[in-house]
Amino acid sequence: MIRFHLIVQTSLVTMMVASSVHAVDFERDIQHVLNTHCAGCHGGVKKSGGFSVIGRDLLLAAADSGQPAVVPGNADGSELMRRILSSDESEQMPPAGEDRLQAHEIQALRDWINDGVKWPEHWAWQPFSDVPSTAEFGDQHPIDWYVRRKLDSVGVEPSPRADRTTLLRRLSLDLTGLLPDPADIQTLDDAETWQVGEAADRLLASPHFGERWARHWLDEARYADSEGFEKDSAKEDAWLFRDWVVNAYNNDMPFDDFTRRQLAGDLLPEPTAEDLIATKFQLQTQFNLEGGVDSEEDRTRRVVDQVGTIGSVWMAMSIGCCQCHDHPYDPLRHSDFYGLYAFLNNTDLAADFLAGEPKDAAKIRDERNQKWQKLVSLLDRQISDKNLSDDCQRDLSGLRGYDNSKGFVRYLTERSADRRRTTYVFERGDFLRPMTDAGEVFPGVPIPLGRIESDKPQPDRLDLANWLVTSAAPLTARVEVNKIWMHLFGQALADQPQEFGSRGTAPTHPQLLDFLARWFVEEAKWSRKQLIRLIVTSDTWQQSAALRPELVRRDPNNQWLARQNRFRVEAEILRDISLQASGLLSDKVGGKSVFPPIPEIVTQQTYAGQNKYKASTGEDRYRRGLYTFFRRTAIDPNLSTFDCPDSSLTKAQRDRSNNALQALATLHNEVFHEAAQAFANRILKADVQTDAERLQFAYVAALGRTPDETETAALQQLLDESRTHYSQDLEAAKAVVGDHAAEVEPPQNAAWVMVARVILNLDEFVTRG
């Protein structure tokens, strides 16, 4: 009898293990199959045969045949399975010529249907999951607790902690985008007292923290100093928004307030000038000021861009796909896009003296109002008389020029009730084909994300902003936390930071992402500084970035987080640290955009060559890259060469290329060569005597460490050979030294320029490790 019970128990355990091993996971096993093999013909755009696979309700609905293609609990009786298994080319699915499903995919579909077609809510749209108690974490940092569980499950140990020099440099680059301060480097000598947390606190309090992290947000805001399109006129007041973002980060403005001010600062009770400047987030879209452009068409194009940007930045949702049709892969409807569109359809541009009033402000305001009323009249008449387009564009361009000359600052405002626009769905996204028969579309949020509440007759942009950080907080927090993690690790937990839909990549550590998102909202109260500090004080962030041969095959993309990541610093940061090492970098924070030297051929690419480029002089020549005037049609090649986006679309994750042109730029470009000249001058002026001491000084200034014997020998050889070479060609030596000559003979100076140039081009210098 005992033996019988043991056999039964063993059999049950075996069945349970087998069941768990073969259990179907919807996102892993089913959604990928449906999106890859079915949604092209049976998705949101095309619904061949009246059948769609983008949601459970559509999957189970009656097709054109009058019968559903899927019967829950009955795979053999489901038309979908019959078509998949059919050998008749006239009816098999996928059609002849397309890739057939693999045996394991067919079995997964069969099991899924027989199990009742369970379709869980998409991971990104779910409420926060429960988190372990503090007792479960024990003495471990919560981040390390989650990561270690993953590593234990695959039988891998985490990498050792990076050395203190590497950690300080990593921390400084991640938090401020600058090299470590010499005073901070000296603190490394005391190994027992140096703590990452204390160093992080100093860097988080630095005004340069805001500069570093504002650049990330400005990529998403598609910030530029020009309007775009062919004329690409200057936006004279754009820098005010850039500085607002810098200050918001430095002051640790909670992300919920940060959201409200940018989406609806003008609708806040008694908005300040700073609140109005914040709405310029929406005005980073391109304006087409060409003659002959339909002003209403350009306005609707801007609103479409604003909707797509909000969807990408706050919801990681490609809602822009729904401008013309239902989403091809996610349960987002054509009308969902226009629900969001309705929030922005009744916005207008306003302008005022937000950066200080002139003495005759009242007179100038009255003069501007007259010009604006004339333009409003033209815009209203243009709806019925398209021949007025040229007049509208001419007056609009003239008003812009007037605003720029008088110091007006443009911001977003809401239309008055008597001038309210009615929102309709546009057929195929064409603003000339409003679907009036379908009725007005009122402000609303995508159906899968719930409803938006308001105490007004219709919700407005402030309600939308509040909804994003209350009802939709789990999604908004996951999106923001994922991007912050990406900037601190070089890769996100969910690999596509602006696509959390079914075509995006699920997070490698979903429980960790949920914990951090919940902690961000409930514990940190939306404080990004607190979240960043939590991450950098973890052992996971502090791991060595050295490649481990045993993991190259098993985890080539470091998805298990068994080490840190090495990657080249961004375009602006590369220039900043080159100027910093050379001693040229200005530490001035804020102010109007500046014009560092760029090749003349680039400046000639502007509209009819009318946008003359005059390089800044003095301190402005050496400001941080954040402050470089960014013209969309004539981008500084030092930025574009190193993957800086063009600001035409929102960009949360920059591309990261590695090519020969980049090496040529850092060796020969005017900016980088001048940095090498000034760095050589700094080395020669250092209070040291010997070549070896100067090489040590140079290494500490650029890399935060001293060179080893092999490095010292190689650089000494370069120095000796360069001295010999330039002593035989004095004119070449003078040319190499340029305007940054030290008080030594030109051959000696030129030789050190060669050494400085090599150090500033070392992989270790241009890489965050």
* Mean pLDDT across 297-314: 97
Task: Give the containing element (helix H, strand E) for 768.
Answer: strand 767-768
Q: Quick one: pLDDT at residue 168?
A: 97
SS3 161: strand
* Mean pLDDT across 327-331: 88
- Do 274 and 353 share a structural domain? yes
Q: Quick one: pLDDT at residue 396?
A: 65
Query: Positive or negative CA dihedral for 690, 695, 698, 704?
Result: negative
Find residue 768's DSSP bridge partners. Answer: 567
- Do 279 and 189 share a structural domain? no
Residue 389 pLDDT level (bands cut at 50, 70, 90):
low
Q: Quick one: pLDDT at residue 98?
A: 85
Q: For 24, which DSSP code?
A: P
Question: How far, in Å, CA of 590 to CA of 207, rounded?
Answer: 10
Find residue 350's DSSP bridge partners. Answer: 411
The rounded mean pLDDT for the chain is: 90
Q: What is the pLDDT of residues 75-107, one digit of tens each?
A: 898 889 999 998 888 888 888 888 888 999 899
Question: How far, in Å, CA of 345 to CA of 322, rounded?
Answer: 16
Share of the chain above pLDDT 70, in %: 92
Q: Is the pLDDT of residue 526 over 70?
A: yes
Q: Quick one: pLDDT at residue 17?
A: 36
Distances (CA, A) of 657 to 73, 572, 647: 49, 15, 18
Per the structure block, which two tokens stand in for 665?
A: 């730029």
Per the structure block, which two tokens stand in for 751?
A: 């030789």
Q: Is residue 109 part of a domain?
A: yes
Q: Is the pLDDT of residue 388 over 60?
A: no
Q: What is the pLDDT of residues 25-62, one digit of tens each?
A: 888 888 888 888 988 889 877 788 888 888 888 888 88
- Side-chain half-sphere of 425: how many Cα atoms within 13 Å? 18
- Do 194 and 62 share a structural domain? no
- Do 107 and 186 share a structural domain? no
Q: Is the pLDDT of residue 584 over 70?
A: yes
Q: Is residue 710 part of a domain?
A: yes
Amino acid identity at 212: R
Residue 69 pLDDT level (bands cut at 50, 70, 90):
confident
Tokens 């979908």 locate to: 80
Per the structure block, which two tokens stand in for 470?
A: 């209350």
- Do 268 and 190 share a structural domain? no
Per the structure block, which two tokens stand in for 396?
A: 């609009």
Q: Quick one: pLDDT at residue 265?
A: 98
Residue 369 pLDDT level (bands cut at 50, 70, 90):
confident
Question: How far, in Å, CA of 612 to CA of 600, rounded?
Answer: 10
Amino acid identity at 391: D
585 in Cβ contact with 622 (< 8 Å): yes
How far is C-alpha 313 from the geometric centre of its chain's CA atoms? 8
Question: How far, in Å, CA of 54 to CA of 35, rounded?
Answer: 8
Q: Is the pLDDT of residue 631 over 90?
A: yes
SS3 47: strand
Q: Quick one: pLDDT at residue 313?
A: 98
Q: Quick one: pLDDT at residue 685?
A: 96
Q: Quick one: pLDDT at residue 72?
A: 92
Phi, psi of 235 (to 5 degrees): -95, 100
Cis peptide leading into residue 446 (ω within 30°): no
Q: Which of 117, 143, 175 is the last residue of a domain?
A: 117
- Write out 291-303 in H/E/C secondary structure: CCCCHHHHHHHHH
Give the dihedral of Cα atoms 428, 496, 461, 350; nearest 10 deg.
-80
Distances (CA, A) of 515 to 142, 259, 275, 471, 520: 9, 21, 32, 18, 8
Per the structure block, which two tokens stand in for 719?
A: 């120095």
β-bridge pairing 347-352 and 409-414: antiparallel
Q: Which of 468, 488, 508 is the last residue of a domain?
A: 468
Per the structure block, which two tokens stand in for 121?
A: 């809510």
Q: What is the pLDDT of residues 675-714, one digit of tens each?
A: 999 999 999 999 999 999 999 999 999 999 999 999 999 9
Question: How far, in Å, CA of 487 to CA of 203, rounded?
Answer: 16
686 in Cβ contact with 752 (< 8 Å): no
Q: Is residue 543 part of a domain?
A: no
Q: Is the pLDDT of residue 2 over 80?
A: no
- Do 104 and 15 share a structural domain? yes
Flag the least confident range among 89-103, 327-341, 422-436: 89-103
Residue 611 pLDDT level (bands cut at 50, 70, 90):
low
Q: Is residue 529 part of a domain?
A: no
Contacting residues for 488 by C-beta, under 8 A, at least 6 apart: 174, 532, 535, 536, 541
The string of DSSP codes covering 346-398 is TEEEEEE-TT---TTHHHHHHHHHHHHHHHHHHHHHHTT-GGGHHHHHHHHHH
Flag the least confident range among 184-198, 288-302, 331-345, 584-598: 184-198
Q: Is the pLDDT of residue 387 over 60?
A: no
Name the more confident of 333 and 16: 333
Residue 250 CB: number of other CB atoms within 10 A?
A: 21
Flag the least confident range among 71-85, 209-223, 478-492, 554-568: 71-85
Question: How far, in Å, CA of 601 to CA of 334, rounded?
Answer: 45
Residue 442 CB: number of other CB atoms within 10 A?
A: 14
Name the more confident of 19 and 186: 186
Tokens 């001491």 locate to: 693
CA angle 262, 266, 267 (to 5 degrees): 105
- Do 462 and 316 share a structural domain? yes
The string of DSSP codes covering 476-514 is HHHHHHHHHHHHHHSS-SSS-TT--STTSPPPSSHHHHH
Q: Quick one: pLDDT at residue 571?
A: 97
- Do 324 and 258 share a structural domain? yes
Q: Quick one: pLDDT at residue 248?
A: 99
Residue of 728, 700, 716 whose CA lies nearest to 752: 716
Q: For 43, which DSSP code?
A: S
Q: Quick one: pLDDT at residue 366?
A: 79
Q: Is the pLDDT of residue 15 over 90?
A: no
Q: What is the pLDDT of residues 463-511, one digit of tens each?
A: 999 999 999 999 999 999 999 999 999 999 999 999 999 889 899 999 9
Residue 391 pLDDT level (bands cut at 50, 70, 90):
low
Question: How far, in Å, CA of 127 to CA of 346, rounded?
Answer: 32
Question: How far, in Å, CA of 101 to CA of 94, rounded?
Answer: 8
Q: For 411, which DSSP code?
A: E
Q: Which of 468, 484, 516 is the last residue of a domain?
A: 468
- Do 415 and 333 share a structural domain? yes
* Mean pLDDT across 241-256: 99
Q: Is the pLDDT of residue 670 over 80?
A: yes
Q: Quick one: pLDDT at residue 158?
A: 98
Task: Give the containing element (helix H, strand E) for 410.
Answer: strand 409-414
Predicted TM-score (pTM) of the model is 0.91
Question: How far, in Å, CA of 698 to CA of 711, rounded?
Answer: 12
Q: Is the pLDDT of residue 560 over 90?
A: yes
Q: Quick one: pLDDT at residue 384?
A: 57
Question: How far, in Å, CA of 532 to CA of 441, rounded?
Answer: 40
SS3 431: coil
Contacting residues for 299 by C-beta, under 8 A, at least 6 apart: none
Name the more confident of 83 and 264: 264
* Mean pLDDT across 302-314: 98
Distances (CA, A) of 164 to 167, 171, 172, 244, 358: 5, 10, 12, 34, 53
How far is C-alpha 544 from the geometric centre of its chain's CA atoms? 25
Find residue 42's DSSP bridge partners. Answer: 47
The string of DSSP codes covering 534-603 is HHHTSTTTTB-----HHHHTT-TT-TT-SS---EEPPHHHHHHHHHHHHT--------S-B-----HHHH
Q: Quick one: pLDDT at residue 579?
A: 98
- Do 452 and 316 share a structural domain? yes
Residue 291 pLDDT level (bands cut at 50, 70, 90):
confident
Q: Is residue 544 part of a domain?
A: no
Question: How far, in Å, CA of 645 to CA of 639, rounded?
Answer: 8
Per the structure block, which two tokens stand in for 165?
A: 């020099």
- Do 178 and 113 share a structural domain? no
- Do 348 and 200 share a structural domain? no
Q: Quick one: pLDDT at residue 672?
A: 96
Residue 54 CB: number of other CB atoms within 10 A?
A: 25
Q: Is residue 402 part of a domain?
A: no
Residue of 172, 163, 211 whose CA lies nearest to 581: 172
Per the structure block, which two tokens stand in for 420?
A: 């309210």
Provide the terminal-to-terminal Cα distance of the chain, rounded to the nearest Å.
64
Task: Give the containing element (helix H, strand E) for 685.
Answer: helix 670-685
Q: Is residue 442 part of a domain?
A: yes
Find residue 444's DSSP bridge partners. Answer: none
Q: What is the pLDDT of residues 702-747, one digit of tens each?
A: 999 999 999 999 999 999 999 999 999 999 999 999 999 889 999 9
Q: What residues make up the domain containing 425?
A: 254-358+407-468
Q: Is residue 642 part of a domain?
A: no
Overall domain count for the chain: 4
